[in-house]
Amino acid sequence: MDEGNKEQCCTVQELLSIEPLSRSVIVAGWRGKQRKISRVLGFKGVDSAAILQDALIIFDLNEKMLHFESGIELCLHNSVAAILFVNPGQVFSQHLLNAAETYQIPLLFHYHPITESDVVFSLELTATLKDKDKLISFAENSGLHQTAVTLQTDLPALVKGLSSYLQGSVVLVNSVFQISDYSSQDQEFTGHELGNMTKKVCQQYYQQHELNQSSRNPYGGDTCTENGEVIHYYIDKLSSDSRIFGFLLVMKAGERLNKLDLCRMRKTSFSCTKELIHKKNLEQIEMKYKDQFIYDLLYNNFENEKALVQRGRYWGWDLKVPHQLFIIEPDDYKTTGNKGQLLEELTLAVQLFLKVKFRNFIITEQQEQVVILVPVMAEDGKTYRENSKKVAKSLQGNIQEVLPDVSVSIGIGKFYPTGVDLCRSYQEGKQALELGRFIRDKGHRTHFEDLGIIRLLAHVSLEQLDDFYKEYLQAVIDYDEKNNTNYLEILQTYFGMNGDFNLTAEKLFMHPNTLRNRLKKIEEILDVDFQKIENLLTIAVACKISKMCKTSL
């Protein structure tokens, strides 16, 4: 390099941000990425008399070299900026790799043809772009990505490559922050600590950053380990066409990421997104056939039980074993913006729960609902019912933890000992889910056998139901409209609390004696006597129907 070029300098990391050096593989010593490069020397220029400090040394391993390792050690002892090996085909000793780590001198492999003049030109270009404050934008818009893109395509390699480059922990999570893959340098965190840190970062992200907010830069913040150490974290959303495939998370103690680090993270995010889209497309092809089988199972499109069991074995499901059916649906579906994204995240959250609780299970999305079938042991009928409610409660709690802003209701079908009757359980589960909304609040868990008389009403037309409740409640409805009272609400709450004065009064924020007086007034308006069981039953059913009719509007 001539004298004018000696003033042109940049760091090792900056030089590796553009072509052709961006395709180099980092082997060791990357902690020295901020070393300054002011000159480029070929291996022939390396001797004890040469000034090697701040030089990038090129070793073309296609050429025959004497005293190869001693030459490398000479470079390491003389504080070169970095060493680039072109066409590496031999194994390097662990001693050299350890020395590079100790001296913090980057060792780089380059598997494509490159000459000393190419590197000199890159150095001059990098220095010029840096002086004009255009290096970052040039690197971001480069047509060819760095190693993470050009040489590595699978997700584990992408994650490991970024972790090595950033010298920190890199975690790939799905859209509900379940860890899919991770890589950590120098065992910065144990697996347990990494899981806890990811959960903390997830909570902070949801609290401080809207998921649908577009941001070019990865979102960053700080958190602390259990020992109080401050950790810098960065999150990049992996999305395409408003669909979220996951997040790339970087956690690092000490120095924050610089602009080139963030540039590399964004490029890796781009590659991860492409790979996740490809993976999702393959999964959807397989799921299409699985869903068709499950659809046939839920609608009993089989000649006999033997045919059902045989087809189930193809997918690894033993349908000779009894299964319990659950149907899960988000509340307020009509107000949900991206139903597809929500349903996908809900399915992931359910899978997370099921993998811990059950060895084998069936899950599918049917008609914008998540349907699951879990194997159960032989028990008596009452135990089945109680255990299914416990599972539903635990499942609901897990979903709330993973998706804190999502409320779901669960319908539970009756238990049947054979697979051919799962179609009946499916229809009953749908009824439990739908009718449960009429008799309970949002976020309900309803077993079909808990519906009672409401089960009979499911088969009556809405017109007949509408006529029935108005026949017995129209007087109080008219009175409320005329006098601006809430007697219908009082009546519905009273029956909803199973006729308990104290619970009803507490729910309505009134004194029990006041409640008694108002119920007396309602008796006068309706011209009924609540001491007569037939009157009480009729009005109770009318109240349930009124709620059903209004909810179905």
What is the model's pLDDT at position 549?
74
Residue 173 to residue 90: CA distance in whole angstroms: 36
Structure tokens at 476: 């109080």
Residue 496 to residue 515: CA distance in whole angstroms: 14
| Among the listed residues 178, 226, 174, the one whose alpha carbon sits nearest the alpha carbon of residue 198 | 178
- Contact (Cβ atoms closer than 8 angstroms) between residue 84 and residue 56: yes
Which residues are bridge partners to 552 per DSSP?
Answer: none
Burial of 14 (0-12, 13-18, 19+ CB in 10 A): buried
What is the model's pLDDT at position 101?
92
Find the DSSP H helices in 315-412: 339-357, 381-402
- CB atoms closer than 10 angstroms to residue 85: 23
The angle formed by the CA atoms of residues 355, 449 and 548, to the nearest 5 degrees, is: 105
Residue 332 to residue 342: CA distance in whole angstroms: 12
Mean pLDDT by 10 residues, the chain (553 residues): 57 91 90 93 73 88 67 87 86 85 94 90 92 87 49 80 90 91 77 81 74 62 85 91 90 90 90 91 89 92 89 91 95 69 91 89 93 82 83 94 90 92 94 83 89 78 88 94 93 88 90 92 92 88 81 53
The amino acid that residue 299 corresponds to is Y
- CB atoms closer than 10 angstroms to residue 152: 20
What is the model's pLDDT at position 294?
94
What is the model's pLDDT at position 216?
53
* DSSP element (H, E) containing 284: helix 259-298
The angle formed by the CA atoms of residues 450, 453 and 456, to the nearest 5 degrees, is: 110
pTM (predicted TM-score)? 0.74
- All structural domains of the chain, each given as residue ranges with its CATH number in brackets, are 3-144 (3.40.1390.20), 148-278 (3.30.450.40), 299-457 (3.30.70.270), 462-551 (1.10.10.2840)
What is the model's pLDDT at position 147?
41
Side-chain half-sphere CA neighbours of 509 within 13 A: 1
What is the model's pLDDT at position 544?
83
Which residue has tokens 């129209």? 474
What is the model's pLDDT at position 58?
92
